[in-house]
Chains A and B, each alone.
Chain A
Amino acid sequence: MPSVVLSPITGSWQFLLQALWTTVVLSALSMALAFAIGVVVGALRTYGGRLLDFTLGFYVDSMRAIPLLVVLVWTFFAFPLVIGHSLNVMTAGVIGLGTHLGAYMAETIRAGLTSVRRGQMWAALALGMSRVQAIRTIILPQALVRMLPALGSLFVFAVKDSAIASVIAVPELLRQTQVVAGNTFRPFELYTAAMLVYFLLCFPVARGVDRIYRRLAHLGSS
């Protein structure tokens, strides 16, 4: 067991706090993008017909087949050449993480939507609602409650995966911890602290979502 010196952490707490904030922002933005992608792709795969299901299924399968690290590196280096516009590391990080997580989100949402009995959709249509109205007001509210545990897990994944963005130098928690560890040559204290911070960030999210689900579970039953 190496001797523990806390001065590298206390002397850089503001720097590391900024990094933690970047991690939170990166996770939240990528989760928001993933949710937007997930709702659209999940709904279109469920209700959009076979062609859309097949086409969007290809996106989902590709994202599940390609490592996140590869997606991030490609987004940062190759994607700007495709669109003819440069991307800063944060934008590339959000796009890479968001599109990767979006595939998993789409499957979660699709599972949630299909878990609501078809009869409810038919009933809504029989009452004169459009498909979009029926999804928005009848199906999605129930499905969202059922999806909560899975969504909680995906949010925890978003926070944990944000650390991979350090490879394209997004100044998030792991990256900046590496910088301080590099300056002070104290990897034990700094990486242990980073591990604790990730745990303190993710554990309450996982527990909190479970607690919310227990309270709301009855709203998802039909």
Chain B
Amino acid sequence: MQRRNFLASAALSALLVLGLMTGQAMADSTDVPAPGKSKKIDAIKARGSLKAAAIGEFPWLPENTSGSGAQFSGPAWVLANEYAKRLGVKLEIVPVSHETKVPILATGEADISIAPLSVTPQREKVVDFIVYSKSSLCFFGLADNPKLKSVKSVDDLNSPSITMAYFTGTPPETWAPTRFPKANLKGVAGSGANAPVEEILAKRADVAPIDNVAWPDLSKKVPGLIVFPPGDGCLQSNEMATGVGLAVDKGDPVFRDWLQAVYQSIKDQVTAEELRLLKSS
């Protein structure tokens, strides 16, 4: 009996110790790495600010254009503020364009790029990602465009008669030529919108890609558009399905792992913020 009691207490103690150790390990991973472990973190702390490259994009980082209140909202904003808070520094926003949101990390002008970035093989060669969301593409055009009357599926867009516009510096630039080799593809300068709506409205292009989660907002604000895959199929689209995240320059795994660990610790909060924005749009 005594022996059984002893074994039970020993097992319980072992479990307790294991639990404590696991808890300790989890706590450790979100603790700011000690000085000397990460050059980037040391530089941020010495500077007193976390420089985050940003360009607004719904629903991950919409910019507040009211002129008062926080500059951005969205999951990327929640994460950036959490990182700055844990590092004990202020968050400094570095405005970027679609063309500069990735290369800026190599210049050292930004520590992280919170501009929402689709994970692509090309980008993975130069930056590390902290993935917090996912996205896929839909394609929209003017509903009264005669060229789109016969289009029934995304595959039908792969035609020489179709002109597709996308922002330069965004993933469709490298993806579209492989998916739509026959279509007439056209890169245009980024305008700060989710998609080159102006190209469609000005009839310079027949269709343009848009993130599936951003389509409901666009369709509400701009009447007279049609989307492929049609109807609710857009929200379930698998075209160029990728993760969406923030990026850091390669070369500092300690910094990257810490960012990842902090994200994991507030994952629910980050997801809730994205859902809040999607519901309110």
Please determine whether A168 and B97 come into contact, CB atoms closer than 8 angstroms: yes
Main secondary structure of the interface of B (DSSP, over half): loop
A180 beta carbon closer than 8 Å to chain B: yes
B67 to A: closest C-beta gap in Å: 2
A187 to B109 Cα, complex, angstroms: 31
Q: Which of A12, A88, A89 contacts B65 (CB 8 A)?
A: A12
Q: List A contacts of B62 (CB < 8 A).
A: 183
The residue that A178 contacts in the complex, of B103, B107, B191, B194, with Cβ under 8 A, is: B191
- Check if B253 is an interface residue, CB within 8 A of chain A: no
Contact of A187 among B55, B56, B198 (CB under 8 A): B198
**Is the CB–CB distance between A182 and B193 below 8 Å?**
yes
Main DSSP-derived SS at the A contact region? helix
- Quick check: A183 and B193 within 8 Å, CB to CB? yes
Contact of A185 among B56, B67, B103, B197 (CB under 8 A): B197
Bound form: Cα–Cα A15–B67 in Å: 4
Interface centre among B55, B67, B68, B108, by most chain A C-beta atoms within 10 angstroms, is B67
Known A14-B68, A17-B67: A185·B222 in contact at CB below 8 Å: yes
The reply to whether A181 and B191 form a contact with Cβ atoms under 8 Å apart is: yes
CB distance B67 to A182 under 8 Å? no
B63: A residues at CB distance < 8 A? 179, 183
Nearest-CB distance from A62 to chain B (Å)?
23
B56 touches A182 (CB 8 A): yes
Closest to A178 in B: B192
Given A183-B56, A185-B221, A12-B193 contact (CB < 8 Å): no
Q: Considering the complex, which residues of chain A in the window 1-59 have a beta carbon less than 8 Å from any beta carbon of chain B?
A: 2, 11-18
Report if A120 contacts B (CB, 8 A): no
| In the complex, per-residue mask of A160-190: 1 if CB is within 8 Å of any chain B CB, else 0 | 0000001111110001101111111101000
Residue of A166, A183, A187 ringed by the most chain B CB atoms within 10 A: A183
What chain A residues lie within 8 Å of B67 (beta carbons)?
12-18
Report how far A192 CA is from B259 CA in the complex, Å. 42
Chain B residue nearest to A187 in the complex (CB): B198
Could you say which residues of chain B place their CB within 8 Å of the CB of A76?
100, 107
B interface residues (Cβ-Cβ under 8 A, vs A): 55-56, 58, 62-68, 94-97, 99-100, 103, 107-109, 189, 191-194, 197-198, 201, 218, 221-222
